[in-house]
Chain A
Amino acid sequence: MKFMFIVKSGHRIPPTPALLEAMHKLANREIKAGRMLDNGGLMPLAEGAQVRIIDGQLSVLDGPFVEAKEVIGGYAVFELHSKEEAVASAVEFMQLHKDFLPGWEGTCELRAFAPGGP
């Protein structure tokens, strides 16, 4: 089963070198264990854009943006056996934040990929 992990936070605390190192080690371990297929951190929305449809109107918003309360900071894609494994994996990932970035608050949302073909 494939899962996507999406990390959201309203905190703007930059990750400490210790957290980055711990996350790097964890990612490295998961890649070598054949479980992590892809991952990445995301730049703030100011570096990106939004393309929307509202009231039948398509519009491109290129900023400036009112900062959302919670922003997506990164994602990872895993191949795992079960939801339980995904939860255990996310708990381990978030524990690193608790250990290495005191005061930080956020959510790691895990979502199963829809089964079947494209």
Chain B
Amino acid sequence: MRTARVRPGRPLSRDTTPDAHRAILAIWRIEQPRLITGLARLLRDVPLAEDLTQEALLAALERWPVTGVPEKPGAWLMTTARHRAFDHLRRGRMLERKHEMIAWELEEEERSLPDLESAQNDDIGDELLRLIFTACHPLLSQEARAALALRMICGLTTEEIARAFLLSEPTIAQRIVRAKRTLSESGLAYETPRGAELSERLDSVLEVVYLIFNEGYTAARGQDWLRPQLCNEALRMGRVLTSIAAHEPEAHGLLALMELNASRAAARTDAAGDPILMLEQNRALWDQLQIRRGMQALERARELGGAGGAYALQAAIIACHARAATAGDTDWPRIAELYAQLAAVVRSPIIELNRAVAVGMAEGPAAALAIVERLGQEPALKSYHLLPSVRGDLLHRLGRYQEAHAAFEAAANMAGNRREQDLLRRRAADAAGAAMTS
């Protein structure tokens, strides 16, 4: 029986099969957050703490197949990592005073090792927050932050991260090594930011969590189960943040946004794996429990005074869709109003274009077209196919078929995706047909 191998104290009979490997990785993963935060606190050096956390895993993979899983695997891993930390510092000849202090502390702790177990379930919230702030430091690129966060916060292996991002393992490995080197060389203090810096640093964290979510969400295809896995990792980080940074409204806002978007996962593609637009989805497939969790998180963001935050506003827009029993019940005036608020917080022509769509649904095509025409001068939207696509739709609804035809043709020429090109050419042809008969 496979599970017998992980029984405490039971030898794994020198079992180095993938099953035994996975079983050990699973145990390590449970201990990983406490392990890395404990080491980071002790060493005040996140990259080194991360190295030692990995070394402890390698040690377990080597030892446990022979000795069996220890009764307290967490304590074993921590002890092993501490021994290595001590070795490491001794090898580094402890030139710096900081290292001398740490070495002394370690020696003290080595002497009192039996006490280690009692500290096993210590509250790691503050430490975890500090770790997340370090892994997602604005000093690092978004990609580097995403890889480090998945590695240090979620305990994913390099191989798993590479598979999730559809990149090669060496690419991710190098990204992580470079990011850790940047952190090491930056001389960053290992501390939780405060005051104005806190909100800037929190933005940097939330941005990465949302990037990971979108990487899994917008690219998810039929059988590619590892991509939804990225959504789950992002949701997990969102839950971590809302429990350890519970007073930050935007953490709740982001969790709400992710829960509400993820609730539509089962309805987003047809049997062939092709995407289905939100208004055409079968709403019976939306996960109502997940919607409820999203609504609760949004409510919490509001209670904390964060209704006007960028993530909370986006979540509120999705919430309007989630509340509508049918596409026809959608509260478009409210969505248009929320987009206007969002546009005031985040100055982005894409948000303005989305607002135009909502205004078009709420007030009719004429009001929306006025917004879209203003956006025509935006350099950022110069090659954005959705601008002429939305414009074509509004013109068509206004009966200006010739212009609609030209707009859809322009949109089709800009679209990068074959499926979208086909759709836009069909719409262009429809408009041309309508122009002839009108």
Q: Which residues of A contact B (CB under 8 A)?
A: 22, 25-26, 28-29, 31-35, 79, 81-82, 84-85, 87-89, 91-92, 95, 116-118
Q: In the complex, what distance in Å separates the CA atom of A26 from the CA atom of B74? A: 12
User: Top 4 closest A-B pairs, CB basis?
Assistant: A25-B121, A84-B26, A117-B266, A34-B236
Beta-carbon contact of B236 and A82 below 8 Å: no
**Can you report 21 residue pairs joining A to B where beta carbons are below 8 Å apart?**
A22-B121, A28-B121, A29-B34, A29-B121, A32-B128, A32-B244, A33-B33, A33-B240, A79-B232, A85-B26, A87-B3, A87-B26, A88-B23, A88-B26, A88-B29, A91-B7, A91-B27, A92-B73, A95-B71, A95-B72, A118-B284
Q: Does B197 contact A (CB under 8 A)?
A: no
Beta-carbon contact of B240 and A88 below 8 Å: no
Residue in A25, A31, A95, A117 whose CB lies within 8 Å of B285: A117
**A117 shortest CB reach to chain B, Å:** 4
**Which residue of A has the minimal Cβ distance to B265?**
A117
Beta-carbon contact of A84 and B121 below 8 Å: no
Beta-carbon contact of B232 and A82 below 8 Å: no
Beta-carbon contact of B6 and A87 below 8 Å: yes
**B61 shortest CB reach to chain A, Å:** 13
Which residues from B are CB-within-8-Å of A29? Answer: 33-34, 121, 123-124
Main DSSP-derived SS at the A contact region: helix
Give 7 new A-B contacts, CB below 8 A, not counting A25-B123, A82-B26, A91-B8: A26-B121, A34-B239, A88-B23, A91-B27, A116-B266, A118-B287, A118-B288
Residues facing A in B1-45 (CB within 8 A) are: 3, 6-8, 19, 22-23, 25-27, 29-30, 33-34
Residue with the highest number of chain B CB atoms closer than 10 Å, among A33, A35, A92 = A33
Which residues from B are CB-within-8-Å of A22? Answer: 121
**A19 shortest CB reach to chain B, Å:** 12
**A5 shortest CB reach to chain B, Å:** 13
Which residues from A are CB-within-8-Å of B73? Answer: 92
**Which residue of A has the minimal Cβ distance to B27?**
A88
Residues facing A in B106-139 (CB within 8 A) are: 121-125, 128
Q: Does B243 contact A (CB under 8 A)?
A: yes
Q: In the complex, what distance in Å separates the CA atom of A96 from the CA atom of B430? A: 68
Which residues from B are CB-within-8-Å of A81? Answer: 26, 29, 229
Question: If A29-B34, A32-B243 touch, does A88 touch B6 (CB 8 Å cutoff)?
Answer: yes
Residue with the highest number of chain B CB atoms closer than 10 Å, among A25, A32, A35 = A32
Which residues from A are CB-within-8-Å of B123? Answer: 25, 28-29, 32
**Which residue of B has the minimal Cβ distance to A31?**
B243
Residue with the highest number of chain B CB atoms closer than 10 Å, among A28, A34, A91 = A34
Which residues from A are CB-within-8-Å of B3? Answer: 87
Beta-carbon contact of B30 and A85 below 8 Å: yes
Which residues from A are CB-within-8-Å of B22? Answer: 82, 84
**Which residue of B has the minimal Cβ distance to A89?**
B30
Q: In the complex, what distance in Å separates the CA atom of A24 from the CA atom of B298? A: 27
**A108 shortest CB reach to chain B, Å:** 12
0 or 1 for each of B219-261: is its CB under 8 Å from A? (1 = yes): 0000000000100100111111001100000000000000000
**B310 shortest CB reach to chain A, Å:** 22
Which residues from A are CB-within-8-Å of B128? Answer: 32-33
Question: If A33-B240, A35-B236 touch, does A95 touch B8 (CB 8 Å cutoff)?
Answer: yes
Beta-carbon contact of A32 and B125 below 8 Å: yes
**B164 shortest CB reach to chain A, Å:** 11
Beta-carbon contact of B237 and A34 below 8 Å: yes
Q: In the complex, what distance in Å separates the CA atom of A32 from the CA atom of B123? A: 9
Which residues from A are CB-within-8-Å of B284? Answer: 118
Q: In the complex, what distance in Å separates the CA atom of A81 from the CA atom of B19? A: 14
Residues facing A in B279-302 (CB within 8 A) are: 284-285, 287-288
Which residues from B are CB-within-8-Å of A31? Answer: 239, 243
Residue with the highest number of chain A CB atoms closer than 10 Å, among B72, B121, B122, B284 = B121
Which residues from B are CB-within-8-Å of A84? Answer: 6, 19, 22-23, 25-26
Q: In the complex, what distance in Å separates the CA atom of A81 from the CA atom of B23? A: 12
Q: In the complex, what distance in Å separates the CA atom of A116 from the CA atom of B289? A: 13
